[in-house]
Structure 1
Amino acid sequence: HNIIQRFRESGTISVRKGQGRKTILDARDLRALRRHCITYRNATVMEITTWAQEYFQKTLSVNTIHRAIRRCRLELYRSKKKPYLNMIQKRRRKLAQTVLWSAESKFEVLFGKLGHHVLRTEEDKDNPSCYQRSVQKPASLMVWGCRSACGMGSLHIWKGTINAERLGVRGEREILE
């Protein structure tokens, strides 16, 4: 019934232009927002919102920016961790984990902003700027202790990286004590 009334009033069945509320960000603003999101892929939505408020000189909420990002066909995905280990390195790590009843905790000091989420389209999953950066050998500190039939051993703190030989020698010495 609405279509017939519209045809009688205007002579066409198409909807009049300008219906509804105007969006706060126009097409030009969306293009600038998309450029900024692609340039700073690891930025949070809150950081993008503060940038957009300064850049567009408008009061924008986090929800508005989130809707605008989705309108730009960008989504928040978990960043893909790029594998740096080959099979030999994986095998050596597996052997180092089979040491007699040891418990170890490794604490790494990472540099830079290592966000878990990235703004990208679905096709950009293999883009290098969408990877989660990982430091190959970060500054680390390892706390290690072992247990044998004689009882608990003391905790040891090591600086740097620990390979299988160093762990084995230390483990044997600790078990003998």
Structure 2
Amino acid sequence: MVTCKETRAVIIALHKKGFTGKDIAASKTAPKSTIYRIIKNFKESGSIVVKKASGRPRKSRKRQDRLLKLIQLRDRGTTSTELAQEWQQAGVSASARTVRRRLLEDGLVSRREAKQPLLFRKNIRDRLIFYKRYRDWTAEDWGKVIFSDESPFQLFGASGKKLVRRRQGERYHQSCVMPTVKHPETIHVWGCFSAKGVGSLTILPKNTAMNKEWYQHILREQLLPTIQEQFGDEQCLFQHDGAPCHKAKVITKWLGEQNIDILGPWPGNSPDLNPTENLWSILKRQVDKQKPTNSDKLQALIMQEWAAISQDVAQKLIDSMPGQIAEVLKKNNTANTDSLHQLHVIVNKSL
């Protein structure tokens, strides 16, 4: 609201006589917010003159900024140029750069889309069954589980993209580039761990695919010694996903003969439930830092860095399981209450 100099002078005169902003507002001299702003300006500057705002005037009002935010949230993939065009239809003539600034003010930053497995209705149902079955498990309960997984490691950049800080003209400086090859050699590994620490890690021979024969060999030579070392005669559960070689009849029979109980039912297409995924990320970062230049060095570093992972790191990953399950259930419940209610009915019938 714009106030004339005489009105501002009256407000300041009353303020000097000891009247509060509330008292002055009762006289209907000006709106309360305006009175408080004038008094504040006087206290800071000692003048009743309102300072003119410096710089270019803002092109949009708060209501228009809120509209821009709603347009972006309606379709997260809309570009700043497209948003500027839609905003123009609402009466705001602004550049794509201005659009980006407004969105940044609202905490909306541009990032690459996160990749997540595509989940179908059965996947969602199975995941909810898993969450409900284990939502009351404590970190101590999860400490009795030995998790396993397979993962590929690639020579030259196993962990994907990496950010570097460089000066102008340093784009291809040796310290700012990641060497690449057209067909990077890939090493496949299998590993297991529990709250007691990392277990065995095995590297599959080159050009060897994981099948039921190789998997049984790994379980016999790698899993059994790890269970004996970490749990002894204590009861534990073994986790593996639903890969075809894991579900083979010969594997199920062999595990039964070894009296190894399976954590289940493990939902399909759900690598995010397995804390081993986080362990792989840690391992790959450590290996990448040392920039192996050939397959032998890569394999040696994988084994070396795996052995260097502390029991404390493994314990923290396991301890995070109850919180992760609770958080996912909370988000699911608030995201789509109606559809999840229907799924919970299915889940309850399945338990």
TM-score, reference length from structure 1: 0.39
Higher helix residue share: 2
- Based on CA coordinates, which of the two structures has the bigger radius of gyration? 2
Higher strand residue share: 1
